[in-house]
Structure 1
Amino acid sequence: MTWSLFWSYSTAIVTTFAVPQLTSADAANLGAKAFLVFAGCMLITIVLSFFYLPETANRTLAEIDELYAARILKRKWKGFQTTEATALDNGMEMS
């Protein structure tokens, strides 16, 4: 939620204040080349997302808690086998 709010406010600020300055003839005068500024921002976002946002597909909340508690690197979550997943695969129920 925090990540989404941060980017929502950042986008609103950029759109409201920076875009007119970037495209204005008496300011930065980038015109259509203003997309390069946004392309750079997206590149940074993609790289940070790859390293800092974990893969949570098909994980329960208990498994995610276990991964945080074990301090597993977020980029290694995808292939990590948790004890809860192992117990469920063996037909046992975790308490």
Structure 2
Amino acid sequence: MSNVYAYIFLMAVVTYAIRALPLTLIRKEIKSTFIRSFLYYVPYATLAAMTFPAILSATNSHISAFAGFCAALVLAFNKKSLLTVAGLACATAFVVEFFV
């Protein structure tokens, strides 16, 4: 059981280091447009990388999941609200799952 505490402690140290080191090591403003744009898009890329596999495995059929994903993309590109996008994507996946 002592290994569990060591793992939790190590996880806490790594998590703290990831958050604290950039604050302590980088004091100046980042002037490179490449690095600034890279850091700007990191949260979006990370969210997409974590969400997309879950979308495709959320239903019993990949066809219904992909249909819901396509519906969400179309609605999002047409600047609909988040609630509308999520609701209609779920409804699309449900209807396609019902018929497949």
Please confirm whether the aligned pair reaches a TM-score higher than 0.5, indicating the same fold: no
TM-score for both structures, normalised by structure 1: 0.34
Return the structure number with greater relative CO, CA threshold 8 A, min gap 6.
2
Tell me the TM-score normalised to structure 2 length.
0.33
User: Where is the helix percentage greater, Structure 1 or Structure 2?
Assistant: 2
